Structure 1
Amino acid sequence: MNSVWTLPYWETAFRLFMAAVLGGLIGWERERDAHPAGFRTHILVCLGSALIMLISIYGFSDFIKEENVRADPARLAAQVVSGIGFLGAGTILRHGLTVSGLTTAASLWVVAGIGLAVGAGYMFGAVLTTILALVSLELLNRMERLVVGRRRLAKIVVTVKDEPGKLGELASVLREIGAGIRKVTIDEEDPGDGRIKISFTIRLSEEISTTRIVEEVRRVKGVKGVRTG
């Protein structure tokens, strides 16, 4: 079995180069849309994963010859899979009830897997996974925008008395009208007056007007004001 000292340099260089390229392709898609983890981060994750896999497979081959020594090439790889969660968690941002960065965290996890596959020499799986990841990130994103584009997006800002269950009540009213809620944020206007400001980003069909939305929301008990953003 080859070791890190006997593995041809061109083989090591090729695998690390492929890891940088494949990770960079996914990172480029994230970078273009200004997501938390972009081009460089994805390259580093994929490159580091590939190197760790190379070390895991070939770095300890000399010790296998010793008696009572068991080698497990998957041990270091398993640490990458679990450890990447800490990096992915850093890309997830929470503002009120809005959570963003989940897709970027998932892409980092996939890139780590691609790096491990490249390090193990499983090029077909690494390349195919990269292609499928790019399709899901790019093509499906365009399809979603195309579908959403057929409907109008509107923003409704509601000032309401801070009471338990009020958010759910407003959300129920919007759903009954036929408005799809895309995003919700909550801000406290003044801690002393007991009011909060809830911003709804909603998706409307051509049959529903924002005027009707405002009128229906105003009828909810506790609502102090409604405006379109």
Structure 2
Amino acid sequence: MADPWYIDNVHILLRLLLSVFLGGLVGLERERSNHAAGLRTHILVCMGSTLIIMLSIYGFSEFVHEVNIRIDPARLASAVITGVGFLGAGTILFTGKSITGLTTAASVWVIAAVGLSIGAGFYFASIAATFLILLTLVVFNKLEQRYIRGSKLHMVTIYAISAPGLLESISGLLEGEDITVKRAVVNERSNAAYGELQPPSTTMEISLNVLSKRAFDPLTLTSRIRKLEGISMVSID
């Protein structure tokens, strides 16, 4: 295209389709991993960024030669990056034991940058960046889980009838699994009914933040805890 301020309909469609394809590749990986921002979110963010930057560059081309008007193609691009930051923040969750969604928020932010690159005509950079994003999300994630990532924090919630030595038994079981208790909260409640002659029973709600140095099977650990006397319910997150 000889005129830098002009784009034909074929190139507009090409850039929009490319943004759908590249955004879909990243979104598909997030969708398969069951994250908040998945296939459709990444496609819409990437395509929207492409459309906005094309509007910024070519949408006001008829005013380029006006004396009192200065065209800044990067102005809307900076607004996109800022706006997508708020969208990405919506995928970040604090679960009480850890913060999740940071990687997905980063993928939404960087796919917006890919969309801007497509709209500006940087095809090679857009395609190369997309495959590097997928490399980071898929390959590096497996390497991190296998070789780099250290201890992992879990939340264990136990409901039980109060019994002597119960906490010591739970602590010993977790220690045998190489699991360290970082924080413990114990709430006791009396189940005595009005007018009941029998001694009241006391139930306990035990909330534990534990640190595991190695992967474990939640079902196996739950089964072992349930075998302790007085345990009625176990939840592991």
| TM-score normalised by length of structure 2 | 0.67
Output aligned runs, 1:39-50, within 5 Å: 39-50=39-50
Deviations 1:150-198, CA, capped at 9 Å, x for gaps: x997968499xxxxxxxxxxxxxxxxxx9799xx89878469xxx8722
Higher Rg: 2
| 1:82 corresponds to | 82
Query: 2: CA distance between counterparts of 1:71 and 1:28?
Result: 37
Q: 2:208 aligns with which of 179, 188, 198?
A: 198
Partner-residue secondary structure (3-state), 1:121: coil
Change in 2 beyond 3 A, CA 1:63/1:154: closer
Partner-residue secondary structure (3-state), 1:17: helix
1:61 aligns with 2:61: yes
CA contact (8 A) 1:49 1:116 kept: yes
Letter in 2 for 1:57: I
Output aligned runs, 1:135-150, within 5 Å: 135-147=135-147
| 1:52 corresponds to | 52
Change in 2 beyond 3 A, CA 1:158/1:11: closer
Deviations 1:18-54, CA, capped at 9 Å, x for gaps: 1111110000000001001000000000000000000
| 2:116 corresponds to | 116
CA contact (8 A) 1:96 1:187 kept: no
Query: 1: CA distance between counterparts of 2:55 and 2:31?
Result: 29
Following superposition, the deviation at residue 64 of structure 1 comes to: 1.6
Partner-residue secondary structure (3-state), 2:209: strand
Gaps of 5+ in 1: 160-177, 211-226
Query: 1: CA distance between counterparts of 2:153 and 2:82?
Result: 40
Partner-residue secondary structure (3-state), 1:197: strand
Change in 2 beyond 3 A, CA 1:65/1:180: farther
CA contact (8 A) 1:26 1:133 kept: yes
**How many correspondences in the alignment?**
190
Letter in 2 for 1:134: L
CA contact (8 A) 1:154 1:204 kept: no
1:98 aligns with 2:86: no
Change in 2 beyond 3 A, CA 1:36/1:8: same
Letter in 1 for 2:208: I
Following superposition, the deviation at residue 146 of structure 1 comes to: 3.1
Across the aligned residues of Structure 1 and Structure 2, the Cα RMSD in angstroms comes to 3.9
Letter in 1 for 2:56: S
Change in 2 beyond 3 A, CA 1:27/1:158: closer
Letter in 2 for 1:34: N
| 2:27 corresponds to | 27
Deviations 1:91-114, CA, capped at 9 Å, x for gaps: 011121411100000000000000
Change in 2 beyond 3 A, CA 1:111/1:64: same
Query: 1: CA distance between counterparts of 2:183 and 2:101?
Result: 16
Letter in 1 for 2:92: I
